[in-house]
């Protein structure tokens, strides 16, 4: 497990990270989401040793990796958000090059890159030129490359951006496979829907701080709180409105004939208790449910609200 504590980073007088803490656990996939400039790339560049933090630590087996570059390089694989240019290099040469950079040569190197190219479905392309591969293939090749030294922690900066749905699916299933093998994964995206397909944990980053972080289900529940509760009343609408107006967790009420929509800040148990209260008040309820919203719209609402405060 990698425990990241209170990372701070400024570029001149721009504060990019403002004390973020989280954990990367084997078998878990942590998704960093935030709009442009939130600090996603900065976090990954610090954790991969490319740039120093101003303060903070990343503890693995009681050792701070931020102060032990050798161990950090062994334990962490980083896939940046750009592929780079590799003219006149064949796929197997590319893999051999990165294997040798990690001290893997000969048969050992060959076995490892063959295994990885097979995993990312590119073994048939080992004699192709890297520049001739499609974007999706290059992305998968890059993933194979960052796994060459079998790191325990994999950092991927916007790995699915620019990929079509088929390639996105393929990439996700490769990541799931790595995760099942015990690799801890950190990945970033602008898209909460995208992360919700694959992540076990989510951190919503805003101006270098977490607005919200936790298990996927906790975060989605929290984000969903901004969704209205929709209540269709068969009879007893006046009583229903009276009860709702007096409820401390009901923030707004709108009524359209027998349909009431409320903004309700309670949790699932509060919702059930509200339903019971309405039924006990002899209101006949036809349906009672949370509206399902598009996660990204809700995410934007959430970070928008924070900016206004
Ligand atoms: N090399 C740099 N020099 C100066 N400022 C920088 C540098 N790199 C990043 N920043 C600033 O630090 C903040 C965080 O940037 P970062 O690249 O980490 O955000 P991000 O979440 O990855 O954004 P994006 O979604 O656009 O990739 C931004 O305000 C950015 O302008
Ligand atoms: Mg970035």
Point out the ligand 1 atom lying closest to the alpha carbon of residue 43. 18
Burial of 264 (0-12, 13-18, 19+ CB in 10 A): buried
If residue 42 lies in a helix (H) or strand (E), which one and from where to where?
helix 40-47
- pLDDT tens across 31-54, in order? 999 989 999 999 999 999 999 999
Q: What's the confidence (pLDDT) of residue 296?
A: 75
Residues 169 and 256 in one domain: no
Find the residues whose C-beta lies inside 6 A of ligand 1.
11, 14, 16, 34, 36-42
71 within some domain = yes
Residues 202 and 248 in one domain: no
**Band (308; pLDDT cuts 50, 70, 90):** low
Instruction: Provide the CATH number for the domain around residue 238.
Output: 3.30.70.100
Residues 183 and 56 in one domain: yes
Q: What's the confidence (pLDDT) of residue 305?
A: 61
CB atoms within 10 A of CB 63: 14
If you take atom 26 of ligand 1, which residue's CA is the nearest one?
A: 36
Overall number of domains in the chain: 2
Residues 164 and 35 in one domain: yes
Closest to 293 in 3D by CA, of 231, 222, 232:
222
Q: Which domain holds residue 261?
A: 228-291
Q: What's the confidence (pLDDT) of residue 155?
A: 97
CA 135 to CA 146: how far, in whole Å?
A: 17
CA 76 to CA 84: how far, in whole Å?
A: 19
From the CA of 117, how far away is ligand 2's center (Å)? 27
Instruction: Provide the CATH number for the domain around residue 177.
Output: 3.40.50.300
Backbone angles phi, psi at 117, to 5 degrees: -65, -35
Q: Over pLDDT 70: what percentage of the chain?
A: 96
- pLDDT tens across 278-296, in order? 999 999 999 999 887 667 7
253 within some domain = yes
Backbone angles phi, psi at 181, to 5 degrees: -80, 0
**Band (85; pLDDT cuts 50, 70, 90):** confident
Q: Are 196 and 219 in contact (CB under 8 A)?
A: no
Most informative mutation of 8, 9, 11 for ligand 1 (most atoms within 8 A of CB): 11
Which residue, 186, 213, 240, sits at the end of a domain?
213
Average pLDDT over every residue of 78-104: 90
307 within some domain = no
pLDDT > 80? residue 222: no
Q: What's the confidence (pLDDT) of residue 306?
A: 59
Q: Give the residue with greater pLDDT, 266 vs 141.
A: 141
Residues 109 and 236 in one domain: no
Residues 44 and 171 in one domain: yes
133 within some domain = yes
267 within some domain = yes
From the CA of 103, how far away is ligand 1's center (Å)? 32
- pLDDT tens across 158-212, in order? 998 888 999 999 999 999 999 999 999 999 998 888 888 899 999 999 999 998 8
If you take atom 17 of ligand 1, which residue's CA is the nearest one?
A: 41
CA 229 to CA 259: how far, in whole Å?
A: 11
pLDDT > 80? residue 243: yes
Q: Which residue has the tokens 């006046």?
A: 238
173 within some domain = yes
Q: What's the confidence (pLDDT) of residue 294?
A: 67
If you take atom 6 of ligand 1, which residue's CA is the nearest one?
A: 11
Residues 206 and 232 in one domain: no
246 within some domain = yes
Residues 21 and 88 in one domain: yes
Which residue, 182, 213, 244, sits at the end of a domain?
213
If you take atom 27 of ligand 1, which residue's CA is the nearest one?
A: 36
From the CA of 188, how far away is ligand 2's center (Å)? 8
Residues 262 and 196 in one domain: no
Q: What's the confidence (pLDDT) of residue 258?
A: 94
CA 204 to CA 34: how far, in whole Å?
A: 6
Residues 74 and 164 in one domain: yes
299 within some domain = no
Q: What's the confidence (pLDDT) of residue 261?
A: 94
Residues 141 and 283 in one domain: no
Q: What's the confidence (pLDDT) of residue 21?
A: 98
From the CA of 96, how far away is ligand 2's center (Å)? 28
Could you tell me which residues are beta bridge partners of residue 228?
Answer: 263
From the CA of 73, how far away is ligand 2's center (Å)? 21
Q: What's the confidence (pLDDT) of residue 307?
A: 58
Which residue, 166, 189, 213, sits at the end of a domain?
213
Residues 78 and 176 in one domain: yes
From the CA of 37, how far away is ligand 1's center (Å)? 5
Most informative mutation of 13, 15, 37, 52 for ligand 1 (most atoms within 8 A of CB): 37
Most informative mutation of 20, 34, 40 for ligand 1 (most atoms within 8 A of CB): 40
**Band (60; pLDDT cuts 50, 70, 90):** very high
């Amino acid at each position: 497990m990698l425990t990241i504590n209170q990372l701070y980073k400024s570029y001149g007088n721009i504060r990019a990270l403002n004390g973020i803490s989280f954990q990367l656990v084997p078998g878990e996939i942590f998704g960093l989401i935030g709009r442009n400039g939130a600090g996603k790339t900065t976090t990954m560049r610090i954790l991969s040793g490319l740039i120093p933090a101003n303060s903070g630590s990343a503890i693995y087996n009681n050792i701070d990796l931020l102060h032990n570059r050798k161990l950090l390089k062994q334990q962490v694989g980083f896939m940046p958000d750009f592929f780079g240019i590799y003219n006149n290099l064949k796929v197997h040469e590319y893999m051999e090059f990165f294997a040798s950079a990690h001290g893997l040569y000969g048969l050992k190197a060959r076995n490892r890159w063959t295994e990885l190219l097979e995993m990312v479905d590119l073994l048939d392309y080992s004699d192709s030129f890297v520049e001739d591969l499609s974007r999706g293939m290059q992305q998968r090749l890059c993933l194979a490359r960052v796994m060459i030294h079998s790191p325990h922690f994999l950092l991927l900066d916007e790995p699915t951006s620019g990929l079509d749905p088929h390639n996105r699916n393929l990439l996700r299933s490769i990541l799931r496979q790595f995760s099942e093998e015990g690799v801890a994964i950190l990945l970033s995206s602008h898209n909460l829907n995208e992360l919700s397909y694959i992540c076990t944990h989510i951190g919503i980053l805003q101006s270098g701080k977490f607005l919200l972080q936790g298990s996927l289900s906790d975060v989605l529940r929290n984000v969903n709180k901004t969704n209205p509760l929709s209540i269709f009343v068969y009879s007893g609408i006046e009583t229903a409105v009276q009860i709702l107006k007096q409820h401390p967790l009901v923030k707004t009420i709108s009524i359209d004939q027998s349909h009431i929509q409320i903004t309700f800040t309670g949790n699932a148990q509060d919702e059930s208790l509200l339903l019971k209260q309405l039924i006990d008040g002899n209101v006949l309820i036809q349906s009672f449910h949370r509206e399902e919203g598009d996660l990204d719209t809700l995410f934007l609402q959430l970070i928008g609200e924070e900016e206004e405060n």
